Amino acid sequence: MKRSSFHLGFILSLAALALSACSKQSEKTSGGNAAAIQSVDQKASYGVGYNLGRNLGQEKLLELDRAALTAGLEDGLANTKPRLPEADLNAAFTTLRQRATAAIAAEGEKQLAVGKDYLAKNKAKSGVKVTASGLQYEVLKSGLGAKPKTTNSVQVHYHGTLIDGRVFDSSVQRGQPIEFPLTGVIPGWTEALQLMSIGDKWRLTIPPGLAYGAQGKGAIPPNAVLIFEVELLAIK
């Protein structure tokens, strides 16, 4: 998964532009007086700065030095020569990328261990079936309709969580079903939906090899076991 490294790289690349707007506005707002933040541009500038600051504050891979950050922003805004050689800056960014890679690998190993234990316990539960690929499913509601093929698109409602219960995606919460080609999703979904009939509602427990694997995706950690409640609404 590249979430941590992408997140950090995105923040670092955005910093000069985003805080540039906030820095220029701060000169006009009497040291950050909220009452002076009135125009659309001022509010948007403050919002960009606030969100960037919050993201930087949550970044665990970087022990942020505010003085150094401010110095870099000021030099960049003034378009002056950097205080550090380019080689030093590149070396620092390389170290951060290495930290991100190590953090991702460590999280992946952790998820493999807890996921293996969870899968072993879940498959022993009453009503849980396991396919040859390792996909686990439980029938929550049975339908009587047709089954889709890989050439079809389907319309479904779903609710996706990690094994600790955290929701990472849910059409149910959005109140809007989703439609997609059967071959355009993770292998665990492609396999399960071909076994389902219209009207079926299943709980899928998907091993990482049938989900997003070692790379993860967004809020999904590397090597995470995923749990979905999926209801097949229609076949297109």
Each residue of 81-106: pLDDT tens digit? 999 999 999 999 999 899 988 988 89
Q: Which of 11, 37, 186, 198 is catalytic?
A: 186
Each residue of 212-229: pLDDT tens digit? 999 899 899 999 999 999
What was the pLDDT predicted at 113?
96
Q: Look at residues 16, 36, 39, 18 and name the one whose alpha carbon lies nearest to residue 27.
A: 36
d(CA 225, CA 168): 12
Q: Which of 46, 118, 137, 158 is catalytic?
A: 158
Return the DSSP state at 43: H
212 is catalytic: yes
Residue 46, Cα to own-chain centre: how many angstroms? Answer: 25
d(CA 30, CA 15): 22
Strand partners, 154: 180, 235
What was the pLDDT predicted at 183?
93
What was the pLDDT predicted at 154?
97
What are the backbone dihedrals phi and psi of residue 221, each rounded to the nearest 5 degrees, phi first? -65, 165
118 is catalytic: no
Residue 227 DSSP SS3: strand
Q: Alpha-carbon torsion 158, 163, 165, 169, what sign? A: negative
What was the pLDDT predicted at 152?
97
Strand partners, 206: 226
168 is catalytic: yes
| CATH class, range 111-235 | alpha beta
Q: Which of 137, 169, 200, 206 is catalytic?
A: 169
Q: Where are the domains of the chain?
A: 3-83, 111-235
Q: Which of 168, 178, 180, 198 is catalytic?
A: 168
158 is catalytic: yes
180 is catalytic: no
Residues of the chain with pLDDT under 50: 1-30
Q: Which of 212, 220, 227, 235 is catalytic?
A: 212
E-state strands within the chain:
128-130, 136-141, 153-162, 167-170, 178-181, 201-206, 226-235
pTM, entire model: 0.70
What was the pLDDT predicted at 35?
60
What was the pLDDT predicted at 206?
98
